[in-house]
Amino acid sequence: MPLLEAPYDEQGNLLDYAPTRYRLDEEAKRVVEVPFDCDWRRNVPFATFMTLDGMVRGRSAANFRWLDGDGHRFPMFMKDMTDLLSAATITRGVVTGRWDIVKRGANYGVRYLGPVYEMRSGGTIAVDFDGVIHRYSQGWKDGTIYDPPMPGAIEGLRDLMTRFSVFIHTSRDAHDVAEWLASYGLETCIEGDTPVKFWTDRSQILVTNRKLPALAYLDDRAAPFTTWPAALAQLLPAGDADV
């Protein structure tokens, strides 16, 4: 049976168990256990980045601790960590995906459900051009689009368009990029005089010089953001994060 609610403290951290206190039941003439006040939240899948923050000792066993994009703590059972390792890619201690809370015995922990895009099929995907679609083996060079597509790029864009609206953002001339993609059989368009606020058309790929809202951004030089300390740990040399 799915878990309906999970306990959180006032800072938004998941509690690995619901703490209790005791009081004397005058009528029954015995001591009874009463749950502490905590924030019982409805357990629904959520999407975020999680950063591994080490291991901690739980009530009955050691568990892993993860931090979400806002720095909230989430314990994870050993079994769920094993499942995550076989299903997800961990990059520098960071995993992005869908999550929910599971209860094992009297304890609670976070569980990885799968890639984030599975939760919101039908949204928009943004794709960088150079290095993701265009091979870009010699850098900017003279500004021309000189290389063939990356292996699987054209097929991958077609696959994405079956479930998502897709736009390509680039610093190149959008018309040149659109024509290059069209030469490989893709339906493309560029923005007119009035820039669009969102892209929701699955029938063609928009090429733009702007970064529009999207469910996910495919970029060969992206550093996934969770918290500033995690970002600095990725981008700054060791020992320089506090400078």
Q: How far apart are CA 115 and CA 171, in angstroms?
A: 29
Pairing between strand 94-104 and 107-114?
antiparallel
Cβ atoms of residues 187 and 203 within 8 Å:
yes
In the predicted model, what is the mean pLDDT of the chain? 87
The structural domains of the chain, ordered by start, are 5-117 (2.40.50), 124-214 (no CATH)
Mean pLDDT of 15-28: 70
The per-residue pLDDT for 97 is 86
Q: What is the pLDDT of residues 53-100, one digit of tens each?
A: 999 876 667 899 999 988 899 999 999 999 999 998 888 888 888 899
Buried-exposed string 151-181: b where 16+ CB fall within 10 A, e elsewhere: eebbebbeebbeebbbbbbbebebeebbebb
Residue 4 banded pLDDT, cuts 50, 70, 90: very high
Measured distance CA(172)–CA(66) in Å, rounded: 39
State yes or no: pLDDT of 242 exceeds 80: no
Average pLDDT over residues 159-177: 95
Q: DSSP states of 33-92 as a string?
A: EEEPP-EEEE---EEEEEEEEEEEE-SSSEEEEEE-TT--EEEE-HHHHHHHHHHS--BT
State the DSSP H helix or E strand holding residue 31, giving kind and residue range, or none if neither.
Answer: strand 30-35
Residues in the chain, total: 243
Q: Which residue has the tokens 């699987």?
A: 152
